[in-house]
Structure 1
Amino acid sequence: MVIGLLAIAAIPTVTGVSLGISEERKQKARMEDERRMAKFYMDVFCEGNSEKAKSLDGGRVVLRDNKVYIDHVDPNRRKKPAHTAAAFYIGYPDDDEKRGDGLVSTVSVDPPMLNWIYADKNTMELKYGNRTQSIEHIVGHWDWTEDETGVILAEKDLWAAVEEEDGVWAVYYDINDNGLAGFVDSARTVVEISIDRNIIDKPTDSNTNNKNKT
């Protein structure tokens, strides 16, 4: 009987501990979601020594005509009008298959609109569109490199810039790491690049300290 009473008496304590652990997990999940949903620009890094490669280094990912391009950071100095991609990670809605996080970006400011960025499975071009347009293609899992700086797709940092017109560069996913052989005409210039996250709204020290105190 004493053992039974002790067991009953312990129930509120166990329940309280379980609730505390559950709440802690929820808080950690919320914090992780906030980190992954932090909006960022995508900046291009290129180590090549050619003049064309050097022209790509320091460029920014932009969107126009349902495709992903590289252009100047300053919108006023771009070859063609384009929207600056402002992206973040979020789970891709797929009922049949778990594809992990997708990559969402603003595609216009007025009206404010978001689209998924994806790699076309037939051409390896990076494009953007709604769920219907993207679901048949490579939509995830999008992630960051170990240092949380680089942008990767399906655990690979395999980005390439393809010169589609003179000085006009589109972003491709070099899925086989072979310079896009079989996807891009050999007459076109293909340059290996990396894409880095440039967080748009970085928290100030005071905000960080306040978060640590709560």
Structure 2
Amino acid sequence: MILYTKIVLGVFMMTAMVPTIIGVNEASKGTRNHEERRRESARQQRCHLSVQCMPLDGSPQQGLATHNAKIYITKSPSPQLSPLHGGFYQYPDFSPGNTAGFVSITGETPPTVRWIYLDSQTHEMRWGGKQDTEGNICGPFDWTQDEERITLQGWEGWLAVRLPHDEKKAEELGLEDGPGLWRLYFDRHDNGADLPPGAEALEVTLKRTVAQS
């Protein structure tokens, strides 16, 4: 009889707790939904990307040349340089509803939205139309847990690279500071990205800054 009474009391207590449990679950679900909507909205905001040098990597001169430098895109040999102005976007070859691609508005006339992708042969980051992305790495792009830095394929393998003889390329782009031309690479296999002899490379991160317009 005592055991029976305890069982009934336990059931009674559980019954009384059900509304509280449901309320907590609903509140938790509402918080998760709100956070998901916030993240989705934040990912849709257009942004600029700037280089952040890794501590103690490279010389002081290299650090001064690259740290806080904004990422630009250009259609060579045009002298026009356009700051990367874009963000996460649904890439058609990934799962439905993804925001794992990355796009930017270019300086073309008229301005055009183009895909940002990794050249699978050279390991240099490039931009172009959908046909240009074929056979190359188009993501998944993501952000770090603090939502401040950009990742590709789950990690930050970014390199700022200065190639030999890039002074001529700088002239084509209308840059007065030839040595100030650095390219963005991604060390996909963590083996140095097979850079050509004489290239300078710095490990960097890409900071995401929301564009004001």
TM (norm. structure 2) is 0.68
Q: Residue 54 of structure 1: CA displacement? A: 2.5
In structure 2, what is the equivalent of residue 55 of structure 1?
65
User: 1:45-82 deviations in whole A, cap 9, x for unaligned?
Assistant: 01335112331001010001369xxxxxxxxxxxx631
Contact 2:51 2:66 in 1 (8 A): yes
Q: Residue 33 of structure 1: CA displacement? A: 2.9
C-alpha change, 1:134 and 1:200, in structure 2 (3 Å) is same
Structure whose CA Rg is larger: 2
Counting strand residues as a fraction of each chain, which structure ranks higher? Answer: 1
Contact 1:99 1:141 in 2 (8 A): no
Partner SS, residue 108 of structure 1 = coil
Contact 2:74 2:107 in 1 (8 A): no
TM (norm. structure 1) is 0.68
1:34 equivalent in alignment to 2:33:
no
Contact 1:150 1:194 in 2 (8 A): yes
- Deviates most, 159-168 or 83-92: 159-168
In structure 2, what is the equivalent of residue 190 of structure 1?
201
Contact 2:162 2:182 in 1 (8 A): yes
1:43 equivalent in alignment to 2:43:
no
Unaligned runs of 5+ in 2: 1-25, 168-178
In structure 2, what is the equivalent of residue 87 of structure 1?
86
CA distance in 2, matches of 1:35, 1:97: 19
CA distance in 2, matches of 1:37, 1:97: 16
Moved over 6 A (4+): 24-28, 95-99
**Identity within the alignment, %:** 24
In structure 1, what is the equivalent of residue 122 of structure 2?
123
Contact 1:66 1:127 in 2 (8 A): no
CA distance in 1, matches of 2:160, 2:73: 14
In structure 1, what is the equivalent of residue 100 of structure 2?
101
C-alpha change, 1:82 and 1:99, in structure 2 (3 Å) is same
Q: Residue 196 of structure 1: CA displacement? A: 0.4
User: 1:92-143 deviations in whole A, cap 9, x for unaligned?
Assistant: 0127999861001111275121100000111111000111111321101100
CA distance in 1, matches of 2:135, 2:39: 28
What value does the CA root-mean-square deviation take over the aligned residues? 3.0
